[in-house]
Structure 1
Amino acid sequence: MKFDTVVLGGGIVGVSVAIHLQKRGLAVALVDRKAPGNESSSGNSGLIQRDAVPYAFPRDFGTLVRYACNRSLDVHYHVSAMPKLLPFLYRYWHYSRADRYSVIARSYSTLIEHCVNEHRALIEASGAQALLRTGGWMKVFRSAVKQDADLLKAKRYNADYGIAFEALDAAQLRRAEPSLGHALIGALRYTEADSISDPHALVTAYANYFEQLGGRVFIGDASTLEPQWSVNTEAGRIDARSAVIALGAWADIVSKRLGYRLPLAVKRGYHMHYAAKDGARLNQPVVDTEIGYLITPMARGIRLTTGVELAAADSPATPVQLDAIEPIARDAFPLGARLDKQPWLGMRPSTPDMLPIIGPAKRHKDLWFAFGHAHHGLTLGPVTGRLLAEMMVGTDTIADPFPFRVDRF
């Protein structure tokens, strides 16, 4: 079986890359160990976050002490993982200094500004309109101090990056979300974001659209990739003129075999679905920013997602954050019974400078990378797919790819 390109990875990024290459006249094979959308792309918050900025490493002493004590609800770490993670965390801290972060955030914004439009185009083409929820999301507050600080930050982001928002007092918050608890005193509502009621169904719809365009989906083992370029699948060996590694948290398994030592780490996270009690309704994603969790209406129920767990990617699940946050979330919104047998665990593939890796590999001809999107893989999938496809076929690009080059490390 011969193709122009083989794309390794069936998450939102890989599927989006495959679509954009197929649309540009290439014969594309999409390969993953599972059907598309069954790993990290299925378990996120469902936000297409037009207002997204990179999550910086904290640099103030008080926050660092709080995290070091490992009692924070928004960040939890495995002590056994720290020796391996410390070099990454040091570089993450280094890039988070205000002057460096400003440059990084400016580069990030060149992708973020297109995220909603690129998703909407694929949603329209794939017939997935029923999954789309417009109107933004809310960040809610429990204290005036935190609310005032975040309002100043929102005004700065509006000036720097054109991120639209509106501030809500307690009464306005009640009208927007009547079922939320009265401990919440106000909110910032980011109005230009979209959200998805079923991220897995969205990736599935995009994958079906890819096949309608003439692309082929295969179940296979990405770790068998060999230059120039072949990979084993259940249907037999695939040969291609070029290859794209879009494997998210598993990208370094393949890239290391090919001699690339990239500073990648995984931020783990959990979710659980709940019924809503007593006719309660949630209209949009809501982040309880002072505690560190998100609740959002999904097709399966109310999804509660946790913050960050720093651990080895293959270590057993330890959903201590979910267990600690659940009672607080129940006070904020009337959650009913758990709907899942066990918490879902996912991986956020991260780089220390908070930017994804998008572009050509430097040691191999016709090898391309598209991974490292951290918290915003769903948000950035389609614009990444378009950018990489434009680079591969040699046309003008939707954004400057230079900040995302692999050889910046």
Structure 2
Amino acid sequence: MSDGSKRIIVIGAGIVGTATALRLAMDGHKVRVIDPKPPGRATSFGNAGAIASGAVTPTGSPGNFRQLPKMLLDPAGPVSIRWSYLPKLAPWLMRFFAASTPARVEQISKELWTLTAPAGDAHLALMKAHRIEGIVKPLGWLKVYTGEASFASTKFERGLLEKRGVNLQILNRDELRQLEPGLAPTFTHGAFQPDNHFVTSPVKLTEAYAEAFTRLGGTFIAEQVRRFEFDGNRVSRVITDLAMHEADAVAVCTGAWSARVCAMMGLKVPLDTERGYHLNLVQEDAPKLGRPVVIGDHGFVLAPMQDGIRLTSGVEFAGLDAEPDFTRIKRMLPLARKALPGLGGTVTREWLGHRPSTPDSKPVIGAAPEIPNVFLGFGHGHLGLTLAARTADLLAGEISGREPDIDLAPFSAARF
């Protein structure tokens, strides 16, 4: 196009893809988003709502190999693996453990900090530019523990936060009662990150970004990508189940499905899914909860969303195609009710989402290796909501020819 704008296809209408499409439209490009589902209706729908600017701790950490068997044997623990999936998962797990050494974790933490530190400001700037209000609140992120031993087990994580300069407040029992009087008095220790933000309805934030995008002339296309056509080493057309779309550039933001999309272009990335479940509980006289709270002893979150209290689980490894199994998260209900006395309520939703996870806990952001007009933005693990606007800024800058404010090499797909 002669005016410098480009015809860009963004694949994926989750929070990352939608935010990226919005930023590209703000740069004046002609942007279309392809996804068979409406904006924010897949994995972006059901998270715990945190914009966690202090999230600098990789999923893998020293001692994981020793701790994993104990976690797997706990029927209400934070991690489960479907044993039939283990052979397929094994190569990913080997990379995961290799990234869990002290030296690797320290380096990964530094690199994550370059993304997460400005993550909240990136969202706030995008919302301000499009007058999006009432969805995101500066309420912080709280983790609570019962007893000294439970709290002491977080020493390594707290050390990483201190090294990165994250604002972390350690609370005693009385301070916890003042901050969250609805919690059980059995919690003796708390770790509070006041600079984090809480998204009271993640799907509404995605939809608000989507509405801003369409106001700028962007288009959502409810189709399924089938393959890509090339002109030399560049993608020239995206072929779907219903049409063919010309493209000057393509951004792949399809979350846990991104490895399948990349494979259509001959790109291999070690991406798997940490499946996450939630239950939504609604009652008229629900106990008050001011912010999302991680129950550290058991690894689940209680979050006061607009439509009820959301109970989110830990991690299940079973791939993209296995049927949901809500047994484990239902076992957490009594623990949740013990943590938040008075929490009864009707379960109004059972939900499963697929976190797109790389073995080194870092997203893939930037140009695709050897395909100069394809750009990648996926693999955010537990940080898709947190890093959506930040990723959008970086990808839009790359596509529009701006220099990034950080070194993107640590997040390149070429690192694998």
Residues 312-323 of structure 1: pairs in structure 2 closer than 5 A? 312-323=319-330
1:4 and 1:75, CA in 2 relative to 1: closer, same or farther beyond 3 A? same
1:150 shift after superposition: 2.9
Deviates most, 67-76 or 34-43: 67-76
Q: Distance in 1 between matches of 2:337 and 2:164?
A: 35
> Contact (CA 8 Å) 2:280, 2:310: kept in 1 or not?
yes
- In structure 2, the residue matched to 1:83 is 87
Asked if residue 15 in structure 1 is aligned to residue 18 in structure 2, the reply is yes
- In structure 1, the residue matched to 2:99 is 95
Q: Percent identity?
A: 33
3-state DSSP of counterpart to 2:195: coil
1:89 and 1:279, CA in 2 relative to 1: closer, same or farther beyond 3 A? closer
> Contact (CA 8 Å) 2:225, 2:241: kept in 1 or not?
no
3-state DSSP of counterpart to 2:126: helix
Residues 9-408 of structure 1: pairs in structure 2 closer than 5 A? 9-53=12-56, 54-57=58-61, 59=63, 62-69=66-73, 71=75, 73-150=77-154, 153-154=157-158, 156-227=159-230, 228-232=235-239, 236-276=243-283, 278-333=285-340, 334-341=342-349, 343-408=350-415
1:404 and 1:297, CA in 2 relative to 1: closer, same or farther beyond 3 A? same
Q: Distance in 1 between matches of 2:243 and 2:87?
A: 41
> Contact (CA 8 Å) 1:386, 1:398: kept in 2 or not?
no
1:55 shift after superposition: 1.4
1:262 shift after superposition: 1.1
Q: Distance in 1 between matches of 2:228 and 2:385?
A: 25
Q: Distance in 2 between matches of 1:22 and 1:61?
A: 45
Number of aligned pairs? 407
1:58 and 1:223, CA in 2 relative to 1: closer, same or farther beyond 3 A? farther
1:131 shift after superposition: 0.6
Q: Distance in 2 between matches of 1:230 and 1:205?
A: 29
3-state DSSP of counterpart to 1:160: helix
Deviates most, 187-196 or 142-151: 142-151
> Contact (CA 8 Å) 1:46, 1:196: kept in 2 or not?
yes
> Contact (CA 8 Å) 2:228, 2:264: kept in 1 or not?
no
Q: Distance in 1 between matches of 2:184 and 2:399?
A: 50
Q: Distance in 2 between matches of 1:58 and 1:318?
A: 29
Q: Distance in 1 between matches of 2:39 and 2:138?
A: 24
3-state DSSP of counterpart to 2:352: strand
1:344 and 1:58, CA in 2 relative to 1: closer, same or farther beyond 3 A? farther
> Contact (CA 8 Å) 1:59, 1:93: kept in 2 or not?
no
Output the amino acid matched with 1:312: G
RMSD, aligned CA: 2.0
> Contact (CA 8 Å) 1:266, 1:350: kept in 2 or not?
yes
Output the amino acid matched with 1:285: P
1:278 and 1:340, CA in 2 relative to 1: closer, same or farther beyond 3 A? closer
Output the amino acid matched with 2:280: H
Gaps of 5+ in 2: none
> Contact (CA 8 Å) 1:58, 1:64: kept in 2 or not?
no
Q: TM-score, normalised on structure 1?
A: 0.94
Q: Deviations over 1:299-318 (max 9, x none)?
A: 11000000000112110111
> Contact (CA 8 Å) 1:73, 1:292: kept in 2 or not?
yes
Q: Distance in 2 between matches of 1:65 and 1:180?
A: 30
> Contact (CA 8 Å) 1:390, 1:396: kept in 2 or not?
yes
Deviates most, 187-196 or 235-244: 235-244
Output the amino acid matched with 1:10: A
Q: Distance in 1 between matches of 2:411 and 2:65?
A: 30
> Contact (CA 8 Å) 2:78, 2:299: kept in 1 or not?
yes
> Contact (CA 8 Å) 1:225, 1:254: kept in 2 or not?
no
Deviates most, 232-241 or 37-46: 232-241
Output the amino acid matched with 1:239: E
Q: Distance in 2 between matches of 1:278 and 1:217?
A: 40
1:117 shift after superposition: 0.1
Q: Distance in 2 between matches of 1:397 and 1:221?
A: 31
1:167 shift after superposition: 1.4
3-state DSSP of counterpart to 2:55: coil
Q: Distance in 2 between matches of 1:277 and 1:29?
A: 42
1:60 and 1:385, CA in 2 relative to 1: closer, same or farther beyond 3 A? closer
Q: Deviations over 1:220-264 (max 9, x none)?
A: 112344333323568843211111111001111211121112111
Q: Distance in 2 between matches of 1:338 and 1:230?
A: 48
Q: TM-score, normalised on structure 2?
A: 0.93
> Contact (CA 8 Å) 1:273, 1:340: kept in 2 or not?
yes
Q: Distance in 2 between matches of 1:58 and 1:346?
A: 27
1:158 shift after superposition: 4.2
Gaps of 5+ in 1: none
